[in-house]
């Protein structure tokens, strides 16, 4: 008979160990995010950051998950068009996670050359087995292998009507393509859609209160980065290699900020001078505000306003990191700023208005599917009201810059045109003298501002108008 100690030892040896937690793969992470975006309306960038923080992924796998999420969202229209012919019961009848598994797998096959087709299919089948049952994994395997056999047939027909062909080829909603064709013509509309599917370059802005652009570029080159000066902003640098610039010592020490080149043009349009008083009406997250502070050599007064307290903190954090003491953050509704400050109290005002965001679709691929024509109507009304309130605070002879990150004329030139028609004591003035000549040439047909389209400089789409108070 075994002793009690022997019984305990045997029991300990035979007791089942706690199941080891399985690490999630990059493709599973992407599938979960895509499903949450579709089912819950989650923001892909926020959810991606949250999931990647919790997942034990290597940098390479985290990069793949990011590519799969943004790429699959961007190409959804095209992927669904091809999948529909191969899913017997129809794509819409599939469980959301299965639909998104097929989408991200086909995205790899069609758009990611570095991933072998068999690896994309094999991993999809493995995920389907783990998450579903034999029938689902069999269906996923059958659909993808059938599509592989017919890859040469996965093409958008050339004889489709222009709007439908562009929408399917470059994966944009038809209503938006139709709108752009009417506004800019077929050729330009297609170039806009094509640019929206290209990865944006990494661009940084030099904090000229700390270091010159030439000196920073020299330091970056010595550290092994490939850099070139921006052609459209005197403060910009394009970084062709080197990873996340926000993780560098230059960023932490306040020598640079990560910012798109088009966005850098806004502070240049403001033309701030040391000693001026400046109001930034909708300032979060603070990139343009801090650029204004840098251009003023941190001499003067900048009021940076936002309606959301947590976003006001972002502005202050930027100012602190960059060593800018001239920036004072406040939290108000921009429509009420004229109740907090006396009329004609600012030399310069920046109204970087809330907008549809059509100029930054390549950075926020969800936007193309989230917006509607009704959104444009609603936002343009708000923009007009914000502009009419803000200008009361401008000194005679002062300049207000109205900017948006959209390509929509109804939110841009039309807002300015209607404002000027009802405010004869204001006038549109030409782009800042210091601006690049090619940028100046982007003036709109109506002549109120400059409209940068995403394909023009391989930068974000932006509108910038300068309004002067006369007298």
- Beta bridge mates, 118: none
The DSSP element (H or E) to which 316 belongs, if any, is helix 309-322
| Axis crossing angle, helix 59-74 with helix 96-111, rounded to the nearest 10 | 100
Residue 167, CA distances (Å) to 68, 176, 190, 199, 421 in order: 20, 9, 9, 19, 36
Before 285, cis peptide (omega within 30)? yes
- Beta bridge mates, 258: 204
Catalytic residue among 193, 282, 405, 442: 405
| CA dist., res. 259 & res. 190, Å (int) | 26
34, two tokens: 């895509």
390, two tokens: 């803000």
| CA dist., res. 181 & res. 190, Å (int) | 8
> Which contacts qualify for 165-171: CB closer than 8 Å, 24 or more apart?
166/190, 166/193, 167/77, 167/193, 168/77, 168/78, 168/81, 169/78, 169/193, 170/78, 170/194, 170/196, 170/197, 171/74, 171/75, 171/76, 171/77, 171/78, 171/79, 171/197, 171/368
Can you give the length of the chain in residues?
471
Q: Where do we find the tokens 């959804």?
A: 76
| CA dist., res. 119 & res. 463, Å (int) | 44
Whether 124 contacts 105, CB under 8 Å? yes
Whether 173 contacts 231, CB under 8 Å? no
| Pairing, β 346-352 against β 449-452 | unpaired
| Pairing, β 426-429 against β 346-352 | unpaired
| CA dist., res. 295 & res. 270, Å (int) | 10
CA-closest candidate to residue 332, choices 346, 312, 349: 312
405 is catalytic: yes
Residue 220, CA distances (Å) to 214, 264, 447 in order: 10, 20, 40
Contacts of 261 (CB under 8 A, 6+ apart): 203, 230, 232, 233, 236, 238, 457, 459, 460
CA-closest candidate to residue 467, choices 405, 386, 375: 386
Active site residues: 405
């Amino acid at each position: 008979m075994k002793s009690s100690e022997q019984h305990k030892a045997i029991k300990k040896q035979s007791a089942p160990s706690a199941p080891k937690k399985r690490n999630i793969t990059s493709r599973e992470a992407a599938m979960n995010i895509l499903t949450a975006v579709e089912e819950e309306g989650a923001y892909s960038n926020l959810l991606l950051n949250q999931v990647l923080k919790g997942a034990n992924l290597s940098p390479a796998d985290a990069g793949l998950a990011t590519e799969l999420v943004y790429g699959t969202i961007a190409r959804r229209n095209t992927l669904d068009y091809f999948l529909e012919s191969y899913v017997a019961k129809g794509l819409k009848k599939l469980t959301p996670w299965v639909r998104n598994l097929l989408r991200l797998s086909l995205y790899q096959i069609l758009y990611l050359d570095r991933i072998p087709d068999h690896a994309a299919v094999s991993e999809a089948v493995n995920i389907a087995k783990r998450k579903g049952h034999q029938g689902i994994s069999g269906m996923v395997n059958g659909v993808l292998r059938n599509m592989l056999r017919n890859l040469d047939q996965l093409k958008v027909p050339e004889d489709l009507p222009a709007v439908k062909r562009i929408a399917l080829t470059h994966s944009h909603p038809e209503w938006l393509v139709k709108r752009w064709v009417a506004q800019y013509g077929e050729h330009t509309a297609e170039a806009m859609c094509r640019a929206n599917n290209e990865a944006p370059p990494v661009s940084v802005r030099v904090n000229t209160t700390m270091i010159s652009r030439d000196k920073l570029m020299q330091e970056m080159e010595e550290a092994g980065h490939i850099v070139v000066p921006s052609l459209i902003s005197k403060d910009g640098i394009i970084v062709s290699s080197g990873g996340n610039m926000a993780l560098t010592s230059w960023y932490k020490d306040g020598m640079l900020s990560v910012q798109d080149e088009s966005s850098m043009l806004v502070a240049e349009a403001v033309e701030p001078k040391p000693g001026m008083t400046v109001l930034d009406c909708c300032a979060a997250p603070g990139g343009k505000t801090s650029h204004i502070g840098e251009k003023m050599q941190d001499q003067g007064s900048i009021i940076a306003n936002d309606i959301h307290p947590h976003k006001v903190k972002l502005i202050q954090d930027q100012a602190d990191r960059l060593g800018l003491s001239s920036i004072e953050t406040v939290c108000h509704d921009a429509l009420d700023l004229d109740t907090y400050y006396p009329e004609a109290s600012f030399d310069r005002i920046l109204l970087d208005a809330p907008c549809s965001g059509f100029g930054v679709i390549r950075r926020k691929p969800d936007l193309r599917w989230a917006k509607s024509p009704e959104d444009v109507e609603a936002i343009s009304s708000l923009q007009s009201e914000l502009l009419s309130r803000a200008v009361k605070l401008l000194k005679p002879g002062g300049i207000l810059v109205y900017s948006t990150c959209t390509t929509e004329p109804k939110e841009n030139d039309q807002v300015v045109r209607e404002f000027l028609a009802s405010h004869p004591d204001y006038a549109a003035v030409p782009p800042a003298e210091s601006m690049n000549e090619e940028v100046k040439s982007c003036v709109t047909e109506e002549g109120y501002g400059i409209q940068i389209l995403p394909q023009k400089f391989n930068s974000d789409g932006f509108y910038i108008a300068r309004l002067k108070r006369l007298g």
